[in-house]
Amino acid sequence: MWKWYDSEIVDIKEQSPTTRLIKIKVLGEEPISFKAGQFVTMDLPISDKRLKRWRSYSIANAPNTEGWRELEFSIVKSENSLGGSKFLCEEATIGLPIRFKGPDGTFTLRQPIAEKDVVFICTGTGVAPFRSMIWDIYNQNIPHRHIHLIFGARYEHDILFREEFEFFEKNLTGFKYDVALSREPSWAGHKGYVHGVYTEGYKNVRSDIDFYLCGWSNMIDDAVAKLIVDLGYDKSQVHYELYG
């Protein structure tokens, strides 16, 4: 059963022109524990009706690290926002009380991860749970094989946590990082959508890979179809979390 927590915003950073990294601190004496990849549901002041105030966001920081009473969330003001992300991006300020319940969710790494390669495919703030997972692997020195993060965005200024993932390229054994930008003509890396990266890199089907997908529903639908229908991967190898 979910537990309700009281917290307050203690830090806000502008990650991109449309994205904020919001840090909250849990109040009270009881610590909060969670698994990398889980989310919480916030009760935000955006409606008089309770259920219309609830918005779920993936935890972006790793569990069991310094700041164990703090949680981070990467929030984008999307065109499809029903009010939650708009409020957090435009109105929320440091010191604002945030009540939330959780953590919850089963979008976590299948254990033991040392038995398979792991491929993370995401767009925008869908990278949040993967940041949590990768930092957890790094902090806890969890045995693993290869980890491939494929991140998609429109422009170079939309690349989230870029310095961190470039750090992992140099300091986390087996880690690979690719970025695909769809509207940046001068970009030296992959141009277009994320789909071209994994359909080419993993066109030879193997049973020792787990794919994890996170982002908006259109991207997830396309990726699931390409992996399972077009390439022929078993559905048990494809795991996903929808962002609307």
Number of structural domains in the chain: 2
Identify whether the C-beta of residue 130 lies closer than 8 Å to the C-beta of residue 152: no
Which pLDDT score is estimated for 79?
A: 67
Check whether residue 50 and residue 133 sit in a common domain.
no
117 and 213 together in one domain = yes
Same domain, yes or no, for 118 and 207? yes
Residues 20 and 43 in one domain: yes
The model's pTM: 0.95
Looking at residue 239, its pLDDT comes to 97
**C-alpha dihedral (82, 84, 86, 89), degrees to nearest 10:** -160
Considering the domain architecture, whether residues 131 and 208 belong to the same structural domain is answered as yes
Based on the domain organization, do 121 and 238 belong to the same domain? yes
pLDDT score for 65: 58
Residue ranges making up the domain that contains 53 = 3-104
Give the CATH number of the domain where residue 80 resides. Answer: 2.40.30.10
Same domain, 75 and 135: no
Claim to verify: residue 93 and residue 187 sit in the same structural domain: no
Domain boundary (84, 104, 124) is at 104
- Domain-ending residue, one of 77, 104, 131: 104
DSSP string, 72-89: EEEEE--TT--SHHHHHH
Both 47 and 146 in a single domain?
no
pLDDT score at 82 = 63
CA 227 – CA 207 distance, rounded (Å): 12
**What is the predicted pLDDT for the residue at 97?**
97
Q: Are residues 98 and 137 in the same domain?
A: no
Res 78: pLDDT: 72
Residues 184 and 154: beta-carbon distance below 8 Å: yes
Q: Going residue by residue through the chain, which has 244 residues, state the pLDDT in tens, using 9 for 90 and above.
A: 678 999 999 999 999 999 999 999 999 877 788 999 999 999 999 998 888 899 999 999 999 755 568 999 999 987 666 688 989 999 999 999 999 999 999 999 999 999 999 999 999 999 999 999 999 999 999 999 999 999 999 999 999 999 999 999 999 999 999 999 999 989 999 999 999 999 999 999 999 999 999 998 999 999 999 999 999 999 999 999 987 5
**Residue 242 has what pLDDT?**
83
The confidence score (pLDDT) of residue 77 equals: 83
Whole-number pLDDT of residue 81: 65
12 and 97 belong to one structural domain: yes
| Whether 74 and 131 share a structural domain | no
Give every strand in the sheet of 70-76, ordered side by side. Answer: 54-58, 39-43, 97-104, 3-16, 19-26, 70-76
Of the residues 78, 104, 130, the one at which a domain ends: 104
